[in-house]
Amino acid sequence: MDASIDMKRLLPAWEQFRSATDIAPIRDEAHYSRMGTLLEALLNEVSSDEDHPLMGLVDIVGDLVADYEAQHHSLPEVSGLEALRFLMTQHGLKQGDLPEIGSQGVVSEILTGKRDLNVRQIRALSARFGVSTATFL
């Protein structure tokens, strides 16, 4: 990408994008709720396709949601893997109790850090535990 950016072309494009998506740093709970809804819709669209053209947007919106949660929803800083372990303990679940993720072997690989959760698994876990998808990002 060229280091020089044509600001006269960028500003209208940014305004149109922001108007269409509401994507911007989250400043209040209402915007946080809208961005959570957008993140869910994006995850539904990309499904489990890690190469989907919208994955970059998933990352951006996920980061915005995670940043807001870190500042305004006082939770200890944990990884998605730590959150999964906590939720499993809280709900008395074993590796074989998570068919949303896959076989017991797949769950084991995720819990040991040998494999990352994919988009489909994150969506399923979010729905199962009633938490934001950002919990597992």
Rounded Cα distance between 72 and 94, Å, is 32
Rounded to two decimals, what is the model's pTM? 0.55
Q: Does the pLDDT of residue 74 top 70, yes or no? A: no
Quickly tell me which residue has 């769950």 as its tokens. 107
Burial of 119 (0-12, 13-18, 19+ CB in 10 A): buried
| Total length of the chain | 137
**How much is the average pLDDT of 105-132?**
92
For residue 1, name the pLDDT band (cuts at 50, 70, 90): low
Q: List the domains of the chain with CATH numbers.
A: 80-136 (1.10.260.40)
Q: What is the DSSP letter of 100?
A: T
CB 61 within 8 A of CB 23: yes
**How much is the average pLDDT of 22-35?**
94
In the chain, pLDDT over 90 holds for what percent of residues? 68
Q: Does the pLDDT of residue 71 top 90, yes or no? A: no
